[in-house]
A and B are shown apart, each in its own frame.
Chain A
Amino acid sequence: MRLSAAALGAALGLAATAATSLPAYAQAAWKPSKPVEFVVSSGPGGGTDTFARTVQSIIAKYELLPVSVIVSNKGGGSGAEGFVYGRLAERDPHKLIFGTNNEWLLPLVAKVAWKPSDLTPVAAMAFDEFAIWVKADSPYKTAAEYVAALRAGQASEFRMGGSQSKDTDEILARMVERAIGIRFTYVPFRGGAEVGVQLAGGHIHSNVNNPSESIGGWRGGQVRPVCIFAPQRLPASAPVHNGVGWGDIPTCAEQGINITEYRMPRTVFLPPRVPENVAAYYAEVMKKVFDTPEWKEFTERTLQTARFLGAEEMRALMTQEEAASRALFQDLGWLVN
C-alpha cells in the first residue's frame, strides 16, 4: 500500500515536471507573480536573519525581483519551525527558506517533521568560519598552550560555551574533544552574543564563536581568537586589536588540534517539489545578489567566506556532511533517526 502510494506520488511528480517542461520558452519565462516570503529559520537578529535581510536589501537596491519581499522569522526549535513551514508549503514557488546546515543536521538529532531531502536546494552563498576564543587576559597565549593547560589540569573544570545543544557549536566542541583526546565541560547558551559575553565576563574558558559574533568583543579588548578552523589562514586584514588582524590567527591544525576545516554554510531552499525552472530562477537571482559589491562587502565585514554553491553542489555537500555527521552522532549517542 505504502509502496504504491509512493510510486503514485513519484508518477504525479513526474507528470508535473513533464507538464511544466513542455513549453520550453514558458519555462525560462517563469517569474514570481506575488510577494515572495523569505522564511528565516532563526529569530530576529540571529546570523541567518542578518543573512536573509542583507539579501533582501540587495534585491531591493538592484530590483532583482519584480515583486516585493516579505521576511518572516520562524526560528522556533532551533530553526525547525521554519523548515517544517517550508516543508508544508509543498510546491509553493513564492517561499524561500533561509538557513544553515541545520536543515540536514537537525533531523539527525531531534524528532522533526522533515527529511533533509524534502526541501529543494537553491544555493549556498557564504560560509561562516569558526574560531576558538579565549578571554583577552587569560594566560593562554596560543591554542596549544590552552590544550596543554587542559591536559595538566582537571579537564572537567574547563568550560567551553556554545550556542544551543547538539547544534553546530556543540558538534565542533565534541570534535575538538576527540581531536585532543580530553573531555571538558560544554555549556549550552541561547545564542552567540550571549556566549561571547559569558566569555568576556570570564564565566567560561573558551568558546567557538563565529568571527562576526565576537569581533566587537575583540576590538574592545574583551576576548581574542587563538585559532581558526580553516585549511589555511584567513586573508590578511587591517589590525583589529593590538596590531593583530584576522590573517595573523593560526589555524587550529597548526596548533595541534587536528580539525582542518569546519564551516557553516548560509543556505537557501525552496519548498518540496517546486518546478525546476522556479529553482533555476531563484538560483539566478541569488547568483546576481552574490555578484554585487554589497555582498562582497557584507561577507568581508562579517568575516564569512563568500563562495557560491548551486543546487547540485549543495546536494553533494549535504550528502557528504550528513554521512560524516551521522557517524559522529552515532558515536555520541545523539542519533534519533
Chain B
Amino acid sequence: MENLEALMHGFSVAISFQHIALMIGGVLLGILVGVLPGLGAPNGVTLLLPLTFTMDPVSAIILLTSTYWGALFGGSTTSILFNIPGEPSSVATTFDGHPMARQGKATEALTTAFLSAGFGAFVGIVVITLLSGFVTSFALRFAPPEYFAVYFLAFASFVAFGGGAPMKTVVSIVTGFALATVGMDIVSGGMRLTFDMPELIRGVSFLVVVIGLFGIGELLLTMEDSLEFRPVATTLSPRRVLAAARDLPRQWVALLRSAAIGIWMGITPGGPTAASFMSYGLARRFSRNGHKFGTGEAEGVVSPETADHAAGTAAMLPMLALGIPGSATAAVMLGGLMIWGLNPGPMLFIEQRDFVWGMIASMYLSNIVAVVLVLATVPLFAAILRLPFTIVAPLIVVVCTISAWSVASAGFDLWLMLVFGVVGWGMKKLDYPIAPLVLAMVIGDKAEDAFRQSMIISHGSFGIFWANPLVGGIATLALALLLWPLASLALRRLRRPAAAG
C-alpha cells in the first residue's frame, strides 16, 4: 500500500488554488481544440508548451494533461451532434452516438458518452496508482512480434464482426492500408507511393481523410435529401441528464469490459483510437443488443468512450516509466519533460515523487473537472443546433476547411478533404463500410513496421509469432476472432442439412 501513501502525498502536492485554476483553464482549452476536428489534443498541448517553460514541472504537467483530458471529452461532442469526430479517437463514437442524436436523444448520448469516458479514465488512473511497477515490467516484454499481434488482435476483433458486403469491406480495408503506406517507409528508408509529389512525403493525413469522409461526406448526403438538419434539436434539461446518468450503471458489463480493453491497449500500447474500435467491435459481438448496433444503442456509445479514455489514461504510465509515447499527445508531453529538465525512466518514480504522484493525483481531479465542464458546454452546442441548417452547414464547412489546413498548413490537404468528401458520399450511397478504412489507416503503418521488424529478427520465419506464450496467446486469440465468423458459418451449414434430414 505504499502506492496509496504516495498517492496521498500526491494529493497534497496537487491540491492548491493555482493547480485547480490550471486544471480548469487546461480543460477548457482542451474542449475547444477537441471540438474542432483538425485541431486535436496534440495541437492543444503543443500550443501550451511555451507557456510551461517558466512553470515548475508539476504545474506544467497538470496544465498539459488537463488539456489532454479536455480534448478527449470535447472530441465526442461533435461526433455525436454533427457526425464529425473532433478527435481521431472519437470516430467510433459516431457509429451509435450520432444516430441517437438524430432520434432526439442528443442529451442522453452526450451524458452517456461523458460519464462512461469519465469512468474509463477513473479505472485507468486506479490501475496506474496500484500497478505502476507491474505495468512497467509488463510493457518491457513487448517486442515487434508482440506489437504486431496486438494490432492484429485489435483489427480482427473489429473487422470480423462487422456487417456489410464482404467485397466492399475488403475494398475499404485495402484502401485504408494503402493510404497508410504513403510516405517514408522507416524499414527501408525509401519513399513509397509519393509519385514524386512533395505534398505526399508526409503521407496522407488520417485527420484530413476523416474530416473529408465524415464531415463533408455527411453534409453532402444531408444536402441531397433535404435542407433539414438531421439531428433534431432537443431541449437539454438537467432532468434528462440525471435520468441518463441513472441509466448508466445498467451498462456495467460494457463499462467493465471496455475499461479492461482500454487499459490493455493503453499499456501495450495500441493507443486510444485502436482501443475504441476494438471495444466497439467486441461489444457488437458479445452484447445481447449487438445486432442493433449502429442504430443508436447506448452501449455503442459506452463501449468506445470508456475504452478510449481508459487507454488514454493508462498510456501515461509507459510514457513516464519508459519514455514510450503511447499517443501523439504523449510524445509532445515527453518533449516537455526533457525541456523541464526531467528524464523519463524508471528512476522518475523514485527521484521525482512530487512530480509523478502530483500528476497522478491531478488526474483524478482534472477528470472530474472535465466531466463537469464538458456537460456545461452542452447547452452551447444546443444553441448552435437551433440556428437554421442553411447557415450551420456552411459554418461546418468552414470549420472543416480550417481544420484540414491546420493539420499541416498545406493547401493540398484542402483538396484532399474535398476528394474524400465525395468519396465518403459515394461509400455511404453504395454501402461500402467506412470504419474498416479508418481503422486500417490508424494501425496500418505501425502493423506493417512491426511485421517487417519481426521478419528481420526471425530471418523470415513465422514461428516468431508463437515463440513465447505472450505473443502466441495474443496471435492465437486474434486468429480465432478473425476466423470465428467463418467457423460459425460453416457450423451452421453443417448443422442445417443434418436438422433437415
Interface residues in B225-260 (C-beta closer than 8 Å to A): none
- Contacts A46-B335, A49-B335 given; indicate if A56 touches B50 (C-beta within 8 A): yes
The reply to whether B347 and A302 contact each other, CB–CB distance below 8 Å, is no
Contacts of B341 in A (CB 8 A): 301
Does B408 reach chain A (CB closer than 8 Å)? yes
Interface residues in A142-196 (C-beta closer than 8 Å to B): 156, 159, 164-167, 170, 185, 187-190, 193-194, 196
- Contacts A53-B50, A80-B201, A301-B341 given; indicate if A156 touches B453 (C-beta within 8 A): no
Question: How far, in whole Å, are A159 and B409 apart by their CA atoms in the complex?
Answer: 39
- Extra inter-chain contacts (20) besides given A45-B333, A185-B459, CB under 8 Å: A43-B331, A44-B46, A44-B328, A44-B335, A45-B325, A46-B331, A49-B335, A50-B338, A71-B50, A74-B408, A77-B183, A110-B189, A159-B457, A166-B188, A197-B322, A201-B142, A216-B344, A216-B348, A219-B343, A220-B347
From the candidates A110, A166, A185, A220, name the one contacting B346 in the complex (CB within 8 A). A220
Does B395 reach chain A (CB closer than 8 Å)? no
The reply to whether B198 and A53 contact each other, CB–CB distance below 8 Å, is no
- Contacts A76-B184, A78-B184, A193-B334 given; indicate if A216 touches B323 (C-beta within 8 A): yes
What is the CB-to-nearest-CB distance from A268 to chain B, in angstroms, rounded to a whole number?
18
0 or 1 for each of A76-108: is its CB under 8 Å from B? (1 = yes): 111011001000100000000000000000000
Question: How far, in whole Å, are A57 and B332 apart by their CA atoms in the complex?
Answer: 15
Does A217 reach chain B (CB closer than 8 Å)? yes
What is the CB-to-nearest-CB distance from B371 to chain A, in angstroms, rounded to a whole number?
27
0 or 1 for each of A40-71: is its CB under 8 Å from B? (1 = yes): 00011110011001101100110000000101
The reply to whether B453 and A188 contact each other, CB–CB distance below 8 Å, is yes
What is the CB-to-nearest-CB distance from A89 to chain B, in angstroms, rounded to a whole number?
11
Interface residues in B182-222 (C-beta closer than 8 Å to A): 183-191, 194, 196, 198, 201-203
Sorted from nearest, which 3 A-B pairs have the closest CB atoms?
A216-B345, A76-B202, A220-B346
Question: How far, in whole Å, are A71 and B46 apart by their CA atoms in the complex?
Answer: 9
Contacts of B201 in A (CB 8 A): 76-77, 80-81, 84, 112-113
Contacts of B338 in A (CB 8 A): 45, 50, 212, 302
Of A45, A74, A201, A203, the most chain B CB neighbours within 10 A belong to: A45
Does B30 reach chain A (CB closer than 8 Å)? no
The reply to whether A187 and B457 contact each other, CB–CB distance below 8 Å, is yes
Contacts of B54 in A (CB 8 A): 61
Does B456 reach chain A (CB closer than 8 Å)? yes
Question: How far, in whole Å, are A44 and B341 apart by their CA atoms in the complex?
Answer: 17
Does B339 reach chain A (CB closer than 8 Å)? yes
Question: How far, in whole Å, are A176 and B214 apart by their CA atoms in the complex?
Answer: 50
Does B288 reach chain A (CB closer than 8 Å)? no
Interface residues in B297-343 (C-beta closer than 8 Å to A): 322-325, 328, 331-335, 338-339, 341, 343
Question: How far, in whole Å, are A166 and B189 apart by their CA atoms in the complex?
Answer: 6
What is the CB-to-nearest-CB distance from A216 to chain B, in angstroms, rounded to a whole number?
2
- Contacts A43-B331, A50-B335, A109-B189 given; indicate if A81 touches B202 (C-beta within 8 A): yes
From the candidates B139, B184, B345, name the one contacting A110 in the complex (CB within 8 A). B184
B residues in contact (CB < 8 Å) with A:
42, 46, 49-50, 53-54, 139-144, 183-191, 194, 196, 198, 201-203, 322-325, 328, 331-335, 338-339, 341, 343-348, 351, 408-409, 449, 453, 456-457, 459
Contacts of A109 in B (CB 8 A): 189
Contacts of A76 in B (CB 8 A): 183-184, 201-203, 408
Question: How far, in whole Å, are A229 and B347 apart by their CA atoms in the complex?
Answer: 26
Question: How far, in whole Å, are A60 and B333 apart by their CA atoms in the complex?
Answer: 20
Number of interface residues of A (CB under 8 A): 60
Contact sample, A vs B, 30 pairs, CB 8 Å cutoff: A43-B328, A43-B331, A44-B331, A45-B334, A57-B53, A69-B50, A74-B408, A76-B184, A76-B202, A77-B203, A80-B184, A80-B201, A81-B201, A84-B201, A110-B189, A164-B189, A165-B189, A166-B188, A170-B189, A190-B186, A193-B334, A197-B322, A201-B141, A203-B143, A212-B338, A216-B347, A217-B323, A219-B345, A222-B346, A334-B189
Contacts of A247 in B (CB 8 A): none
From the candidates B188, B325, B344, name the one contacting A165 in the complex (CB within 8 A). B188
Of A71, A166, A185, A217, the most chain B CB neighbours within 10 A belong to: A217
0 or 1 for each of A203-230: is its CB under 8 Å from B? (1 = yes): 1000000001001110111100000000
Contacts of B343 in A (CB 8 A): 212, 215-216, 219
- Contacts A44-B335, A203-B144 given; indicate if A77 touches B184 (C-beta within 8 A): yes
Does A198 reach chain B (CB closer than 8 Å)? yes
What is the CB-to-nearest-CB distance from B392 to chain A, in angstroms, rounded to a whole number?
31
Of all chain B residues, the one with the shortest Cβ separation from A298 is B339
Question: How far, in whole Å, are A84 and B190 apart by their CA atoms in the complex?
Answer: 16
From the candidates B42, B186, B198, B202, name the one contacting A88 in the complex (CB within 8 A). B198
Question: How far, in whole Å, are A80 and B457 apart by their CA atoms in the complex?
Answer: 28
- Contacts A72-B409, A164-B189 given; indicate if A196 touches B323 (C-beta within 8 A): yes
What is the CB-to-nearest-CB distance from B147 to chain A, in angstroms, rounded to a whole number?
10
Question: How far, in whole Å, are A164 and B453 apart by their CA atoms in the complex?
Answer: 11
Does A288 reach chain B (CB closer than 8 Å)? no
From the candidates A44, A88, A187, A221, name the one contacting B456 in the complex (CB within 8 A). A187
Does A126 reach chain B (CB closer than 8 Å)? no
- Contacts A43-B331, A44-B46, A200-B322 given; indicate if A53 touches B339 (C-beta within 8 A): yes
